[in-house]
């Protein structure tokens, strides 16, 4: 009978040792392991299709982690409603422990974009080290205009 209690206690210990951290990180942990000052800035207010767009982000990361990032460009109307989006980047990124590090990201404005007001939205998906808990963080840029009719400045 003592062996049954020992096995029951050991099993309970292992199961609770796995479940309690999972519940904590999923439902109670509100730590921002990765964050970006919002909104991130763009280098100009007006772009032509096919122009290079540079985003300046100020990010803080409490962890070293490999993450998956998806960046999309969104067309919004005057009421702020999303009309269309185009992918700009979808892949892995390495994030190191930083405190308010300035990072410059460059993208090419899609050549087939119609004139309008746009912004970028990024979703960074990562796993908290030493756990199987996935978290994600969303950051956006200031809005900007894409116009085929802007004048070239020499």
Q: 67 and 142 share a domain?
A: yes
In the numeric block, the tokens 């990032």 are attached to: 69
Which value, to the nearest 10 degrees, does the dihedral of the CA atoms of residues 57, 62, 63, 68 take? -40
Q: Determine, yes or no, domain membership for 11.
A: yes
Q: Tell me the C-alpha distance between 66 and 90, whole Å.
A: 14
Residues 116 and 58 in one domain: yes
Do 47 and 109 meet the contact criterion of CB atoms below 8 Å apart?
yes
- Does residue 41 sit in the same domain as residue 20? no
Number of domains in the chain: 2
Rounded to 5°, the CA angle 98-54-124 comes to 45
Q: Which domain holds residue 21?
A: 1-30
Same domain, 50 and 121: yes
pLDDT for 9-62, tens place per residue? 888 888 888 787 777 777 787 788 899 999 999 999 999 999 999 999 999 999
Residue 123, in any domain of the structure: yes
**116 located within any domain:** yes
Q: What is the pTM of this model?
A: 0.75
pLDDT digits (tens, 9 = 90+) for 68-113: 998 988 877 656 777 777 788 889 999 999 999 999 999 998 888 8
């Amino acid at each position: 009978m003592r062996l049954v209690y020992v096995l029951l206690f050991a099993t309970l210990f292992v199961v609770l040792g796995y479940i309690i951290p999972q519940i904590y990180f999923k439902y109670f942990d509100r730590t921002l392991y990765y964050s970006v000052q919002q909104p991130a800035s763009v280098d100009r207010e007006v772009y032509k299709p096919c122009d290079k767009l540079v985003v300046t982000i100020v990010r803080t990361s409490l962890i070293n982690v490999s993450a998956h990032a998806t960046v999309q460009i969104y067309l919004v109307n005057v009421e702020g409603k999303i009309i269309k989006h185009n992918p700009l980047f979808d892949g892995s990124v390495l994030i190191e422990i930083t405190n308010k590090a300035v990072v410059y990201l460059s993208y090419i404005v899609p050549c087939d974009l119609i004139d309008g007001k746009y912004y970028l939205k990024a979703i960074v998906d990562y796993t908290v080290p030493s756990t199987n808990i996935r978290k994600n963080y969303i950051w956006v840029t200031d809005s900007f205009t894409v116009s085929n009719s802007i004048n070239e400045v020499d």
